[in-house]
């Protein structure tokens, strides 16, 4: 009896040590943001849903069909007078930095389905002068998009008293290949985005 | 943007704008009347009827001060006259 007790403790201590040792090597990985569940012994990280969207060329877009990529996502609308131009300017910095890097895809989702049709998005992309292989402008069913913003931890809602009629955050979210949220930047703050470059590079090192 | 650099074709740059460099009468009419929808970019500039003549004078003097190497101050009376002479659309 006594021996078994000691044995049990030894096994427990060994397990703890192993766990902590393995924890150490995980230190360098970027965090997984959002709720983490354990299902049947497996850790399940918060995952952004794979909903059906339409891009600026009317093509169907799904995160899961983009191949081996990480994503930088934000939410906007084309007639937004307040924060969107600032965030767009920062997204432009990201677009230029990762130009021709096939591993990175920028995604701007419109929250104004009424006004931002595919042709409006198309012209917006042209006016910005960006490579739409590198940066997609997406729309979808209204409730789906607001739910998606929620899953991306970006607040967005209709507010008639807000400039433009929508109140939303200027966050830029970093998504890994498995649609887990691994980091974010404040799109209205150029310094936040400069620091974000390092986070994106770290994820690229991790994933590839 | 704060430095007047704009955002590609979406927000034309003020720094490089020929209107700011031109005669201030054109600038004041532009601000007051706006611009109709541009056929290639699909964008239009809304008219601004909120700013009064004193505010417009200050605004135009400020714009010319920061974007031009040398500029002469415009006066409220001049702005008043130019506004009256703006081409009606």
Query: DSSP letter string over A121-144?
Result: HHHHHHHHT--TTTEEEEB--HHH
Residue numbers of A between 60 and 99 with CB closer than 8 Å to B:
85-86, 88-89, 92
Residue numbers of B between 11 and 70 with CB closer than 8 Å to A:
11, 41-43
pLDDT at A24 > cutoff 50: no
A27-to-A15, A21, A23, A24 alpha-carbon distances in Å: 19, 10, 7, 5
Predicted TM-score (pTM) above 0.95: no
Higher pLDDT, A105 or A22: A105
User: What's the pLDDT score for residue A18?
Assistant: 59
* Residue A204 forms contact with B (CB below 8 Å): no
Contact A180, A70 (CB under 8 A): no
Query: Between chains, do A124 and B10 touch, taking CB under 8 Å as contact?
Result: yes
User: What's the pLDDT score for residue B89?
Assistant: 52
State pLDDT tens for residues B9-68.
888 888 888 888 899 999 999 999 999 988 888 888 889 999 999 999 999 999 999 988
Closest to A190 (Cα-Cα) out of A164, A163, A172, A167: A172
């Amino acid at each position: 009896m006594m021996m078994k007790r000691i044995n049990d403790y030894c096994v427990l201590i060994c397990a703890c040590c192993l766990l902590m040792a393995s924890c150490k090597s995980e230190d360098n990985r970027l965090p997984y943001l959002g709720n983490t569940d354990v299902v049947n012994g497996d850790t399940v990280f918060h995952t952004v849903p794979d909903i059906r969207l339409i891009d600026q060329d009317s093509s169907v877009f799904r995160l899961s069909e983009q191949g081996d990529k990480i994503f930088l996502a934000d939410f906007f609308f084309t007639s937004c007078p307040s924060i969107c131009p600032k965030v767009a300017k920062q997204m432009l910095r990201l677009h230029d930095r990762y130009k021709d890097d096939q591993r990175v895809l920028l995604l701007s989702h419109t929250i104004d389905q009424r006004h931002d049709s595919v042709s409006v998005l198309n012209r917006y992309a042209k006016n910005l002068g960006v490579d739409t292989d590198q940066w997609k402008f997406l729309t979808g069913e209204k409730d789906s998009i607001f739910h998606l913003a929620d899953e991306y931890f970006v607040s967005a809602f209709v507010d008639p008293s807000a400039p433009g009629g929508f109140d939303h955050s200027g966050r830029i979210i970093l998504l890994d290949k498995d649609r887990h949220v691994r980091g974010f930047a404040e799109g209205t703050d150029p310094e936040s985005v400069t620091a974000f470059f390092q986070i994106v590079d770290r994820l690229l090192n991790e994933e590839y | 943007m704060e430095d007047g650099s704009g955002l590609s074709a979406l927000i034309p740059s003020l720094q490089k704008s020929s209107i700011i460099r031109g005669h201030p009468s054109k600038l004041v009419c532009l601000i007051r009347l706006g611009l109709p929808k541009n056929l290639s970019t699909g964008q239009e500039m809304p008219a601004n009827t909120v700013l009064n003549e004193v505010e417009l004078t200050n605004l135009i003097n400020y714009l010319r001060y920061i974007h031009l190497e040398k500029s002469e101050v415009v006066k409220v009376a001049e702005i008043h006259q130019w506004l009256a002479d703006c081409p009606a659309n």
